Every structure is written in structure tokens, then in C-alpha cells.
Amino acid sequence: MAKMHVSTTVNGEPTEFLCEPQQTILDVLRDELRLTGSKEGCSTGDCGACSVTMDGRLVCSCLVLGAEAEGHEIETIEGMADGDTLHPLQQKFLERAALQCGICTPGFLIAAKSLLERNPNPSETEVRYWLAGNLCRCTGYDKIIRAVLECAADMRGASA
Amino acid sequence: MTMTSETKDYKWVGTSPVRPDGNDKVTGRAMFGADLMLPGMLVGKVLRSPHAHATIKSIDTSKAEALPGVKAVITSDDVEDMESAWVAAGELQLNYRDLSYNVMANGKVLYDGHAVAAVAATSSAIANAALDLIDVDYEVLPHVIDVEEALEPDAPILHDDMFTEGVTPTPDKPSNVFKEFDIALGDVEAGFAKADLIIERKFKSAPVHQGYLEPHAAVASFGEDGQAELWCCTQGHFSVRAYCAKLLGMDIADLRVTASEIGGGFGGKTTVYLEPVALMLSRKAGKPVRAVMTREDVFRASGPTSGATSWVKVGVTNDGKIVAGEAIFKYQAGAFAGSPIGPGCMCAYAPYDIENVKVKGYDVVTNRPKVAAYRAPGAPISEHAVESVLDEISKKLGMDPIELREKNAAREGTQAAYGPKFGPIGFADTLAAAKAHPHYSAPLGPNQGRGVASGFWFNIGGSSSATVNVNEDGTLALATGSPDIGGSRASMAIMAAETLGIDATDVRPIVADTASIAYTFLTGGSRVTFATGMAVIEASKKIALELRERAAKTWDISVDAVVWEDGKATPAGANAGEFEPLSLADLAAKMNQTGGPISTAVSLNAEGAGPGFGTHICDVEVDRETGAVKILRYTAVQDCGQAIHKAYVEGQIQGGAVQGIGWALNEEYIYNDEGRLENAGFLDYRIPVASDLPMIDTVIVEVANPNHPYGVRGVGEVPIIPPMGTVANAIDSAIGIRMTELPMSPPKVLAALDNGS
């Protein structure tokens, strides 16, 4: 089957790729664009390890076709740091040991960033429900939730 | 919170610096199993059995082979038949013929998901199309899923050559029991005769999967000269090398295995599935091959741990002294022999000082995937049963459950039923810390209850290797052979820094491949911080000695007149002479003039692992309308000997406790009447999510292991043991009903409420 030509924007860079009709954005990111920071944990939208944003909206990239990226802006974990400066969430995850094996970490960071953009002052319950679509088997979530809450407080302080 | 029995003056040990591999993991740069791409790489995929038990009459791969883009197809015809031989594999034993038959079914398929063929093709779509073109002619056989049904006299037999071991005389008919296992101490009949109260109960626990977020993945590249490289996510790349070399008939020297970053393992990545298949495909195709499991494959064909039935009988006197403990455990091993029944039986009563103990275990094969190690293999199942009965006893006696455990707790000098006399252990300290914790006396509301349970794991040592190279600027390159599954590079850097008196940030730790460092046993059994840590400490001490020699040479004095303190060589005293101290950086800058590069390698077999104990407290609320159990508050207390990286020790405890909560409340394998797994995905196999849980409080108790320079015991296994008992005991406190079947999911709790039993 002929491949499809798609023009999109990935992490701010105009990007073109060819993909098979059945390939997901996750397949394209990983296998065609070699951006392997987004992980495949399930391919059914249950684990959140492939979380990216599409025009600012949080999606599981395993549930969106590559062809659907046409004309849209995709943000992945590779675009989260600003040059050599980590995003405050990335820094906080490091400082608070909010990762163990690290396979779920890109998805959690993208999802948490998306939460704080919408709600800079979430309660613990709001953080837990927003991140309920991101599975972590190592940490029991405790340090992840604390890192997000603490980072939110820091970011509010910085912008006040 | 940390409670230590002595004051220690450490600079780095017990702190929580940012992990050295952390940056790559928050930026997406870290390379996991499926992230490597080689030029010309093919996609490898595996065809799996849709039947629980069937004879393979024939496999026709001709149509798949003819499909353009298909470069190799393999079946059991491509796998050399092995003789039956048992070797150590972590806490478990492993049989090469079974391993080979599990990697690729030979003659029969034994479970839904069993691999029967594999292809390598130029694209994922072509590989999938090729799998569809492979024609397997099955003759379906009767199957057995349940462990008790597998023991029935007329049960379908999985292996015609399985004659139960451990019984005399050896049976003349095959069965599904691979082995019987016995432990005895004292005389249980005499013990029960002295008891004022005897309680016996039956329990059932569902098989649960390790649930690592990263599916198994391997990239193999086989050269024309017979040498191969393998990249894979594994807890033990030396084990992978040994297993794959054996299955492919290679010299070990011809196979180099690199452990990628690993996205969780919990014991499940201590064996091989795809690794030898990828190598065989690469050998046949003459190109690199990457094979990655789907999540469905992971559930159907890897892990899980055993499901089991348990029977426990405990006798106590009215003052709460346990006089006898008896138990029978039947663990299902999956399709091939080798459940963790041994450690299950050994751990059952290990936390307690009991004169009379009798435990019997059965290792039972069923038409399910072969079980793999899962965090403290075997222990959570048996200890859940015993801890539940102890709770019932404490309630019958009207005795506080912690007081009951304190009365019977194993202490230094206690003879454990499984063999050894304990050295210094911290079980009683965990009980005291739990009793003193504010959680234990906090008020509870209606339909709420509190539970307590404890857990024991041996912790293990074993073979480990480390190398330390001093860089020209005085920083250190530290390599070990232990895959890092939860932050061990950070703890290795801390131990090297503490030993040498330098900054942990000046140590760059890596996990070396199998050609770059000496043999190291796999990451598991809570052994790495203890055993590999010992190798790192010994190597650091050797570096310190070498640095003293270089300083002695510089000053032209005896090495005995030089001490190494605070990261500097200093004259030992006034008699040694007056010299300005030389730092590691000073000595490193001149090392090529004072004798050449400074480096060392240490390999050792660490003995003297310190047993670990934990005690957990949990508050639940039971919804009487739905049967749902909400975890309101959770506190985990554990003796870790010494926390090296404190935050990652807390993380291990929190993560283990939550896996245990999933085991207690949600997780189970569901098979239909045809023996097919019906919930092979995260939507239907429900691991705990963030909104299910409260924060998990931890209390680290530190009763030093005298056999480790910093007192390390190990931490990863113990925390998964107490939760099932803790949650069951809390539910009983909330609604007055003893749940005896795991998981205690809403339908089961609701049914129990409706029955009032």
C-alpha cells in the first residue's frame, strides 16, 4: 500500500513524514522520526506511557493515526526541556526521586505539564485523578504526586 | 522517617542525591529495550497458540516464507532439542529443556499464548501478514487451569515424563505434581496438644502478573563469523548470555549481551522469551532483528507468579504463645515445573519463634504460562495465609495484633524452621515502630477498619563484580554487572564516594555489558545493594590503597606512613614527615608519572545477607453497596539494615506495598472455559492507579547487617509481602468478615456481605 505524506509540526519544528495508513503517531514518532522518548506500554490507551499533546490537548499517541497529525502541532517529551534547562517538572521529578525505572516518566511528565497548564493549583485528589490514566508499577505514585504538587506550588510562587 | 539504633557519621550514605542516570530518564533520551534501531534491522514477531493444550500435528510455513519481505521463519525444527538439566536461576531453578520448549513449543502447546513459530520481515505489517500465513494443525487436548483440579486423579496430564520428586517410592504413574517439599521442626502434634485455641483456614490466591510497564524487547545481530550481539531489557544479562548461548549452541565468548535501560522487572525479566528467538531469526536472516512483545503477549506468555491454595493451622495458648504451626501450600507453576514453592514454604512461619512447625508444599503444573519470579517469590502467598490466621487468633484472644506478634517474634538466636539461627534482625523493632506510629492509634469511622501484618524475606548475596577507573581529573568511572532497575547506580556511586571520601557527583556509575565486566548474578532477591555494593566498596578500598602508594612514592616515604582520609592522602603523623595533603585530583593528574593508570576490578561472592522484616498498617473503608474497598491510609515499616539512597529505599517500599495492594484487591488472571486468557490488557487486568491510593508512609528501621560494611540488608522484596494480609485483616476489622480468597474484589466482598460470612 502506498505511504501517505504528512506535514506536521513536532516540538516546534516543521516536520514531514511518510507513513502507512495503519501506523499510529506513536509508531511514526518512534520508528520514522526516531523520537523514542514516547513509550509503548500497551498500544490500547490504558497506560499513558505514550502521552503527547496535539495542539495542546493531551492524547495517547498510540490511539491517534499518523495521518491524523496532518496540519497539527505535536509536543513530545523531547521538546519539554528548554535547551539545556529542564522544565520545572523534570527537575522536580529528579529531586524528589519521582521515578524508578523511568519507562513511564515521559508520559507522566507530559500529562502533569498538561494538568498544570490548565490548573496551576490542583488539589492532591485532582492530581491523582488527572494522572489516573498513567500507570506506574515502581513507585506506588507517592513521590510522583508529591513532585507534581510541589512543582505546582513552586511555579505559582515564581509567577506571583 | 528513619529510626536507627546508633549514631553514624556518614557524609553520603543515607542521603538522597539526584540519581546519575536521572537526566536521561526525564528527557526521553534513555534507551530502553525497544528503543535501539540498527541499520537494516528486521521486525521479528511470534505466532502464539490459541489453545490451552494441544498437540501440534504439523506446521506449514511455506506460504509465509514465500511472502515478499519475509527473511526468516523459525519453528521448533530450528531449535536443538535439549536434555533435561536443572540450573540455578535467581531464587528459582530452571530446566534447559523446559526453557527451550517454553521459548518455542515442541510437539505440544501447553498454554494460550505459547510460542509456536516466529518470523522476521522488513516491516511490521509484513511480519503480521506472514504470521497469518503460517498454518498450524492442532489436535486440541483436554486442559486444566485450576491447581486443585490439576491434582485430581483423572486430570489432563501435561507431561508424560513427570513423576513426582520428593516422595518415596517414586510414583509409577505421571502426574501434574513435579515435586513435594517438606519442612519440619519439633513435633506439631505435641504442640497442638498444648494449645488453648487452634484455628485452621483455607485460602486461595489468584496468579498475578509483575506488570512492568515495558514489554519484553530484544535486538539481536548475528554475524557471519558466528559472533553475536544482543541488546535487551533484562534483570540479568549474564543469565541471558548463558541461556541463549546454550539454546543456540554457541560458545559463551561469541555472545555479547548489553542490558538496556529496563522498564521494570520485579523478577519477571530474569528468564528469556524473545531473546533466543531474535538471535535465531537474525542468524537465519543474516540481518539484525528486533522483537518486541505486545502487552497482550506479556500477559499471555510471560510471568506471572503462582496462583495457589493454602491450608494453615495455628495453635496458641491463652497468653498468645504460638505452640504449633502447620500448613499445606499448592502452588501452580504454569506449564513447566518450577513454582516458588520452596521459598513459599520456608518463609511461611519464618517471622516467628515457634517450636513446632510442619509445612508441606506441592509444585503443580497447569495449562498457564510458566511462572516467573515476582518480588520475594513465593513468600507473599504463604505469609498472607499465616498472617490472616494470626489476625483471627488475636481477635479471638482479644489481644492487640502487634502484641501477639511481639510475643512470638523471631529475634537474634531464634531457630528458624527452614534452617538457620537468626543473627541480629530487626523484626521486633518494626513491630515497636508500628505500634508507636500515630497511624496505629488514629480514630476510625463507620465501615472502616485497621489491619496489621508482617513479612519476612531472606535477602540474598551472590556473585558480583565491579571496576573502578580513576580518570585524569580525579573523577571516577564505576562499572558493575548489575542492571539498574530502581536506582542502584545512585546507591553504587554513594558507596564508592563514602568509601573514598569524595563527592558522589564525582562518580559516574554505569552498567557494563557482558564482555566488559566479570560475571555478575542477576538483579533480584534484594541482592544488588548488598552484594554488588560489597564489590564496589572493596574496589574503592583497593583504589584508596593504590592512591596511598602513589602518594608514598611522591613523598618518598613508606606507604604505611600515608593515610587516606576525606578524599586526601595525608602523612600518618609527625614522624612521617611534613607534606601537603594530596587530593584524588592531585594524584590522578600525576598518575601516569607515578606508575600508570589507576584502576581496579573486584569480583566476589557475597555471603552473609541479612534477613529483612516489615510490618504494615492499613486503614480501609468498605462500601457496603458495591463491595469496593478503599485504602484510606497506609504505613509500611521495614528494617533495611542501612538505607544507602534514602529516597529510593522509600520508593522501593512504597512501590512494593502498592503492588501488594493490587494483589490484595484487584489483580487476577481470568480464563474462559476453553482455557483462553480473557483479560490480557491493562483495561481488564487492573493494576492500581493514582486515584486508587493515598500516600504511602514509610518508616525505615535500621538494624545493621554486621556482614556488610555499611550494614545493608536489601529492601526490594519485603514490602510486597505484608499487604495482602494487612488489607484482609483491615477488611475483617471493618465488616467482621474474614476474606480468604484473593483478590478481594468488589464482587467477592459484596457476596461475602450478602452471605454475612
Residue B507 near residue B525 (C-beta atoms within 8 A)? no
Q: Which amino acid is at B198?
A: I
Helices A142-159 and A105-118: crossing angle in degrees, nearest 10, is: 40
Residue bearing cell 517414586? B170
For chain B, domains (ranges, CATH) are: 2-29+461-606 (3.30.365.10), 414-459+610-755 (3.30.365.10)
pLDDT score, position B456 = 98
Q: Give contacts of A128 with chain B, Cβ < 8 Å.
A: 690-691, 693
Residue B619 near residue B730 (C-beta atoms within 8 A)? yes
B485 CB near a chain A CB, below 8 Å? yes
A53 and A93 assigned to the same domain:
no
pLDDT score, position B88 = 67
User: Would the CB atoms of B27 and A99 count as touching at under 8 Å?
Assistant: no
By DSSP bridging, strand B228-232 and strand B255-259 are parallel
Rounded to an integer, what distance in angstroms lies between the CA atom of residue B32 and that of residue B233? 7
Within a 10 A sphere around the Cβ of B241, how many other Cβ atoms?
25
pTM of model > 0.95 = yes
Rounded to an integer, what distance in angstroms lies between the CA atom of residue B79 and that of residue B105? 10
Q: What share of chain B is helix, strand, coil (3-state, %, to 5)?
A: 30, 25, 40
A25 and A71 assigned to the same domain:
yes
Judged by DSSP in three states, A5 sits in: strand
**Could you give the count of Cα atoms lying within 13 Å of B508 in the half-sphere of its Cβ?**
9
- The string of DSSP letters for B2-62 reads EEESS----SSTTB-PPPTTHHHHHHT---BGGG---TTPEEEEEEE-SSSSEEEEEEE-H
Judged by DSSP in three states, B357 sits in: strand
CATH number for the domain that contains residue A39: 3.10.20.30
Domain boundary among A79, A107, A136: A79
Q: Give contacts of B18 with chain A, Cβ < 8 Å.
A: 94-95
Vertex A96: Cα angle to A95 and A100 (nearest 5): 105
pLDDT digits (tens, 9 = 90+) for B627-645: 999 999 999 999 999 999 9
Q: What is the DSSP letter of A48?
A: -
pLDDT score, position B82 = 87
Rounded to an integer, what distance in angstroms lies between the CA atom of residue B76 and that of residue B104? 6
Could you tell me the CA-to-CA distances from A20 to A50, A66, B64, B125 in Å, in that order? Answer: 19, 8, 21, 9
Residue B548 near residue B568 (C-beta atoms within 8 A)? no
What is the chain A residue with the closest CA to B647?
A97
Residue bearing cell 495517547? A60
Residue A106 lies in domain? 88-159
Rounded to an integer, what distance in angstroms lies between the CA atom of residue B393 and that of residue B277? 52
pLDDT digits (tens, 9 = 90+) for A3-46: 999 999 999 999 999 999 999 999 999 999 999 999 999 999 99
What would you measure as the largest C-alpha separation in chain A, in angstroms?
Answer: 55
Cis before residue B581, ω within 30 degrees of 0?
Answer: no
Q: What is the DSSP letter of B516?
A: T
Judged by DSSP in three states, B365 sits in: strand
Sign of CA dihedral B497, B503, B506, B509: positive
Q: What is the distance, to the nearest Å, from the Cα of residue B660 to the centroid of all Cα atoms in its chain?
A: 13
Q: Which amino acid is at B275?
A: E
Shortest CA distance to B338 belongs to which of B378, B311, B384? B378
B336 by Cβ neighbours in 10 Å (0-12 / 13-18 / 19+) ranks as buried
Rounded to an integer, what distance in angstroms lies between the CA atom of residue B218 and that of residue B282? 11
Complex ipTM, two decimals? 0.98
A64 and A119 assigned to the same domain:
no
Q: Where are the alpha helices (DSSP H) in B88-136?
A: 96-103, 124-133
What is the chain A residue with the closest CA to B680?
A42
Q: What is the DSSP letter of B519?
A: -
User: Would the CB atoms of B31 and A95 count as touching at under 8 Å?
Assistant: no
pLDDT score, position B92 = 55
A135 and A115 assigned to the same domain:
yes
pLDDT score, position B86 = 81
Helices B533-555 and B488-500: crossing angle in degrees, nearest 10, is: 30
pLDDT score, position B230 = 98
Residues B279, B282, B283, B284, Cα dihedral to 10°: 130
As a residue count, chain A comes to 160
User: Would the CB atoms of B212 and A42 count as touching at under 8 Å?
Assistant: no
What is the chain A residue with the closest CA to B20?
A94
A123 and A144 assigned to the same domain:
yes
Residue of B26, B487, B696 with shortest CB distance to A86? B26
Within chain B, which residues score under 50 in pLDDT? 91
Residue B153 near residue B167 (C-beta atoms within 8 A)? no
CATH number for the domain that contains residue A144: 1.10.150.120
Residue of A43, A97, A133 with shortest CB distance to B295? A43
Within chain A, which residues score under 70 in pLDDT? 1, 160
Q: Which amino acid is at B438?
A: P
Could you tell me the CA-to-CA distances from B546 to B551, B594, B710 in Å, in that order? Answer: 9, 11, 22
| Count of domains forming chain A | 2
A24 and A73 assigned to the same domain:
yes
Domain boundary among A79, A96, A130: A79
A35 and A99 assigned to the same domain:
no
Residues B398, B401, B407, B413, Cα dihedral to 10°: 160
Domain boundary among A34, A54, A79: A79
Tell which of B25, B32, B234, B682 to mutate to test the A interface (max A CBs under 10 Å): B25
Within a 10 A sphere around the Cβ of A137, how many other Cβ atoms?
27
B210 CB near a chain A CB, below 8 Å? yes
Sign of CA dihedral B186, B190, B195, B200: positive
A-contacting residues of B 143-182, CB under 8 Å?
none
Judged by DSSP in three states, B618 sits in: strand
- The string of DSSP letters for B423-441 reads -S--HHHHHHHHHHSHHHH
A74 and A92 assigned to the same domain:
no
Shortest CA distance to B265 belongs to which of A140, A154, A103, A63? A103
A118 and A62 assigned to the same domain:
no
